[in-house]
Structure 1
Amino acid sequence: MALTKKEQVEEVLKCGKDPIYFIKNYLYIQHPTKGRLPFRLYPFQEECIESFLDYKYNIVLKSRQLGLSTTTAAYCLWMALFRQDANILLMATKLEVGKGMIEKIRTAFKMLPAWMLNLLELKVPDAESVKYIKFTNGSKITAIPTAKDAARGEAVTLLVIDEAAHIENLEELWMGLWSTVSTGGRAIVFSTPKGRNYFQQLWVGAEVPELEPNKVGQICKGVGKNGFHGIKLPWFVHPERDDEWFDAQSRALDARGVAQELLCSFEGSSLTFFSQTSIDYVRNLSFPPVSFTGPEGKGMDLQIWKNAEEGHQYVLSADVARGDAEDYSAFHVFDITKSEVVAEYLGKIPPDRFGEWLIEVGKKYNMALIVAEKNTVGIATAIKLRDSGYPNLYYDQELANKMLTMTPDEKKDCLPGFTITPKNREKILENLEQVIRNNHLRLYSTRFVSEMESFIWNGKRGQALKKRHDDLIMAMAIGLQVFTPNAEQQNYFDVLAANQGLAKAMLAGMSRGGGSGKLGGKKVPSFVNKETVQLEMQFRKEFGWLY
């Protein structure tokens, strides 16, 4: 039955006040096989829309196939129709996804009753494309790309970010977009989880409590410390889904997929290099350092849990940075006797000065064996270590073997340190992961825990998330190539003592012998005792992990 003019006006007023009423009574969707269908909202979708009205900034952690994109598109259309000059921006993982939302909005608009458009003084959009739709009341809905300058300088009424956790540069984008919404705009950010990334940080900042047992979905009261209102929507919020549906979906997914797509789990969906069990292991061991210091006794970048103990042997392993960029130089001090990390440095310092700092700390820890990475800027650190005369430096095994037949002058050109290559990088990280997973090392640093949480596996290699750091991780991975604690390994300091004794024998033998000869197919200088070199080579073969 046709509505009277008065009834039409009343309907428009109801719709303008209540988007849920508008959507349930006047919006249609185009089904791919069933054609035009009325948009029927489920209770959880209605609750989401109510939150969109009540709170400026909403973040939704959701499972797959809940129709939230379509629900949000309908809310955007309502805002554009009943608000003058509304500027609504839609962002998704790909621009094509945003275009798809624009098409849904355009289709729904064209199926609205003519009398409603007449009362609102709206016509077929006077400007539209696959990327935007502009209404005659001045409102506009635009799909924008995931570019850092997206929406720069615009006054935004509503910003929608679809599948935010899957946008690689979300943090950078959000920092740029924040200025467009913080002066009066609103934001809806929703996604399935994808490990520990910036979306997860936003979710944590919303301070959403754990889901209560037997509660369908979860909508928070109020906002968190970052101003976001949190909404959590696991798979079972949908009234038409049961255990049979869940089992069918689970069979098509692996464990990570189930966690990500159905259970709203950041932990299970994570691509973190370290398991949550390993992260929790280190976190539970951590406690505040007993003292702090830094180069020249200034600062607090060196955290100390235990000072050197008499009779203990130590390894100091380091990752080197430029000192003036985003990365940090880092080192760990391993107590070999107790298989624990007793000190840790993370700071910005020039590479040559870093070498001096390593020597200073190494001396305090019983002349610790210093193992410093010597790629690129690490060369400056290696030169400083070599020229210092420090007696306990690590050399790559291949170089150490070559040094057996070098003259003293030739050895002066050799650089100590560990060379990281694409081939050995993943091996040393794999070794680090195994040591921590098997609880073979005790370490107490919350800074290290933070790096573990943001160190991910991208399918090919382990790496830090964008704008996060892995300096402590790489420094520890290097150290564990020299010292890998396990029950079967010979005691480190016994091996080191044997090595030192052999080195003394080699020095003593340098004055013996009368002519040149060959050893292992290589020419040996006349002043080198061949028997001593054979012993040294056999030692390095058996205990190559030490070099």
Structure 2
Amino acid sequence: MTASLATVVNDPVRFAETVLKANLFDYQKSVARSDARLRVLCAGRQSGKSEILAILAIHTAVTKRNATVYIISGGEKMAEKLLAKITKMVRKAGLEAGIVGDLKNILSFTNGSTIEAVPTSEARIRGETVDLLILDESGIISDGIWDAAWGTTIAAQPAGRTLAAGTPWGGRDHWYRSNFERGLKHPDDSVESFTWTSYDSPLADRAALEDRKRALPSDKFRREYLAEWADETGAFLTTEELNNATVDYTYTTDTTPWPYTTQPRGGHVYAGIDWGMNDYNVLACVGTLDDHGGLNTHREHDPVYFVAHLEGHQQMQYQDFVDRIWKVGTHYNLRHVMSETNGVGGPATQMLHATKKKRLDTLQGRPQIHQVHTSAQSKTTNFGQLKVLLQRRQLILPNHGELLKQLNNLQYTELQHGNLKIEVPANIGHDDHADALSLAIGAITKRNRRIHRDTHSNAIRRYWHGQQLHQLDDGTQIPHEPMLLD
């Protein structure tokens, strides 16, 4: 370490000023100089949250030899984006570091330190030792991921530190909100919390913020820009319902190497397809958990469903997406495929039909394509069934940031004749992943939803024996690598 660096080892603010040439706002300095083992940030958008996270990551990596910094995010690709921001700052400062690894997700320094964007996976995180753990978009990081991530800093006693940051998401029992409220009311060496609004930034464009205030629903604006937790009035799904159903199990995506997946070929799934114009084309596949070996005998004849496959592609050509769907069909038995026909979905579904005829000899089974013109009534039925399954602990969700965020953002408005208008408001975000999942749930109603459990089936039991088992609060269990009931 050079003499100039030695003078700023214990002062991240001076490090930012002298090494990174960055001047911090007063509220950022308070975070940087806190000695709390867990620092919880709840901040309005565009107020400097990512900048202070990046600076503290670089400070740890540069001033400590062989330091390990992990970045985990609940938002899709957000960890990689923060790492890209860090890399840019490092290069601008002339520090010696470079990206390594096939996934380009590790920034390595010449002193042996690394900053890594880590997948949101309990199995990937658990058992590691980390000097600084950064959790971004913390409100949509599950309690299970938090438990695994928090343990990574314990082994680094007494130096291990955690930064948990985000905007207000999560119920009072969610780890992010409960720790934020604790650190705000009773700050100590263990937990200290910090909050600021978008207006607090000296760089804020007040006129632009006022425009956003007029354009957004008041609860959305308070949450995103004033960093205030809003009541869940109008939310179709509660945070508790989502948190209780979210598990970090293995599911397949478009990046899964099919010949090597642990999910056997031919497993039956219910598929939902949402076609996008300027947003995402999404395929969601839901299957029945194979636990005939007595894993969930307390459920008697009630099946447990889980998301077996999920993938979305922004602005992908429809024929290319159709080819992706039937590629999945070479591995899974897409027995019922619910394809949205609203808007561009009509011709896209016809393309799906035409291509199926050419691919039948390669597919598992003979998929039945159901054309679905979604309406307030159909969405009320499908999302209503989804909500019931969540409440009954019969639907297990993967730890997929975009899906969870969309489900969390679903709002309802009461219409005539008992129907609801259920959607993510356009000024908040998209609902393509949520809609595809609801269509897949709608396909479940085409079959009897009761199963027979053979508690004496040793052959079936062997597949999950010795695996990590994830357990819901009612005792329902799912193996880390679940199998489908045919």
TM-score range, shorter chain: 0.3 to 0.5
More relative contact order in 1 or in 2 (CA 8 Å, sep 6+)?
2
Structure with the higher fraction of residues in strand conformation: 2
Structure-2-length-normalised TM-score? 0.47
Structure-1-length-normalised TM-score? 0.42
Larger radius of gyration: 1
